[in-house]
Amino acid sequence: MTTAHATEPKTTADPLALLDIDHVRFFVGNAKQAAFFYAYTFGFTIEQIADLTTGSRDRARYLLTQGNIRLVLETPLSKNDPAAEELRCHGDGVKDIAFTVADAEAAWKQAVANGGESAYEPLTISDDTGSVTTAGIKTYGRAVHSFVSRTGEYAIENVKKGGKFEPSFEHTEGLSINEYNKQNPCGLMFLDHCVGNVDEGKMNHWVQWYEDTLGFAMFKHFDDADISTEHSALMSKVMASGNNLIKFPINEPAEGKKKSQIQEYLEWHDMCPGVQHLAFRTNDCLASVAELRRRGVDFLRIPDEYYEDVWSRVDRCLTEHGLEGVREDHERIKDLGILVDADDEGYLLQLFTKPLQDRPTLFFEIIGRRGSQSFGKGNFKALFESLELEQDRRGNL
Ligand code: FE2
């Protein structure tokens, strides 16, 4: 007679090993309308819905997808829902950056044992085809990280192929915008990084938190001498997950002559830290930005003077490190108003949208990397000057 247990290997797998970015969940005032905004302007497919028509009576949720990006737009349907109070205080924005893990309950237990504060306890929703377990911990401000583990039909590999996201979701049918997006792709592939704005003096606290609670490590470091203009400054450190699946730069405001963009964010976010921007990776930054511009995405305007010295700065850096120059058409980069930066590993192309809602809080970045793994430090000055022009237009400088 044999006992099955005697031969089972002991598992030493790290419960906090991240398998994927499961999704980014937004709280929005009207998910039905927001879904069409993100679908029309950024090319997301409105793939699945959980709302009153599918039996979800407390919240409406829209799953939007593009490449390996999954956004869940969520709206509370009653005034007593805590999400309704958050919306009143902060407006639309990111609530949750959720990680796919092997076992959500084990990951949550480990994160709490590491000093993380629980946001909500493990919850499993299942039907006869599979299950989804979620559990959450609190990070800065109102943001949380959910751990998500999936089985059966709901496994992440199936979701990526268009399978159901959770038991309560239903696929959309016959939306012409989805067909249009298929014919006119925007080319966004995955979430490259997610930037948080925290209170002054709290950056190091949150750096330590990502190290202790989630086992992340510091990736790059900038100080306020790196990132400052005449008016404003910030400090930023970048935390990376163990497998570099995702990076979380953390910003805090630094002393400047006028109000920093981080301070402006905090003031319009009820003085609560939160997600400042999501950066989406593309393989063809020029094609993506051209398509997004055609659709009416409101990007920051980069002053013409920027292009007077960008090529000498970038080419000098690439030559110094024995790397090939920027292969994309320089004139076209300028026409599209794209920013360029280089380091010892290569170069990157990037561009930032203006705020995506009336409050100057969340925005998106479009980023293409040709070797460079940094975040466009050489662009910060030009970028901040452009940001400050916008801040001034809003009367917030
Ligand atoms: Fe960024």
C-alpha distance from residue 256 to each of 195, 225, 302 (Å): 21, 11, 22
Please compute the mean of the pLDDT values over residues 285-294 and round it to a whole number: 98
Please compute the mean of the pLDDT values over residues 40-56 and round it to a whole number: 97
Please compute the mean of the pLDDT values over residues 304-323 and round it to a whole number: 90
What is the C-alpha separation between 62 and 83, in angstroms, rounded? 16
Mean predicted lDDT score pLDDT of the chain: 91
Do the beta carbons of residue 261 and residue 396 sit within 8 Å?
no
Residue 204 tokens read as 């190091």
Q: Say if residue 42's pLDDT is above 80.
A: yes
Which amino acid is it at 374? S
CA of 183 to the centre of ligand 1 (A): 28
Do the beta carbons of residue 303 and residue 229 sit within 8 Å?
no
What is the C-alpha separation between 81 and 54, in angstroms, rounded? 19
Q: What is the pLDDT of residue 227?
A: 57
Q: Say if residue 229's pLDDT is above 80.
A: no
Among the listed ranges 48-57, 238-247, 286-295, 375-384, which one has the minimum average pLDDT value? 375-384
To which H or E segment does residue 133 belong? Answer: strand 130-138
What is the C-alpha separation between 368 and 348, in angstroms, rounded? 6
pLDDT band (50, 70, 90) for residue 137:
very high
Q: Which CATH architecture describes the domain 188-394?
A: Roll (3.10)
- Give residues with Cβ within 8 angstroms of 305, minimum separation 6: none
Q: What is the pLDDT of residue 242?
A: 86
- CATH class of the region 2-183: alpha beta
Question: Phi and psi of 172, rounded to 5°?
Answer: -80, 160
To which H or E segment does residue 316 belong? Answer: helix 306-320
CA of 194 to the centre of ligand 1 (A): 7
CA of 120 to the centre of ligand 1 (A): 29
Q: What is the pLDDT of residue 187?
A: 98
Q: What is the DSSP letter of 215?
A: -
CA of 380 to the centre of ligand 1 (A): 10
CA of 193 to the centre of ligand 1 (A): 7
CA of 157 to the centre of ligand 1 (A): 28
Q: What is the pLDDT of residue 4?
A: 39
The residue that leads in pLDDT, 397 or 364, is: 364
Q: What is the largest CA-CA distance in the chain?
A: 81
Q: What is the pLDDT of residue 255?
A: 74
CA of 373 to the centre of ligand 1 (A): 11
Give pLDDT tens digits for 170-192: 999 999 999 999 999 999 999 99
Please state the pTM of the whole predicted model: 0.92
DSSP string, 317-331: HHHHTT-----S-HH
The residue that leads in pLDDT, 98 or 395, is: 98
Q: Say if residue 231's pLDDT is above 60.
A: no
- Domain definitions of the chain by residue range: 2-183, 188-394
Q: What is the DSSP letter of 227?
A: S
Q: Say if residue 164's pLDDT is above 90.
A: yes
CA of 80 to the centre of ligand 1 (A): 35
CA of 195 to the centre of ligand 1 (A): 6
Please compute the mean of the pLDDT values over residues 342-362 and round it to a whole number: 96
Residue 181 tokens read as 């997006």
Please compute the mean of the pLDDT values over residues 306-324 and round it to a whole number: 91
CA of 238 to the centre of ligand 1 (A): 10
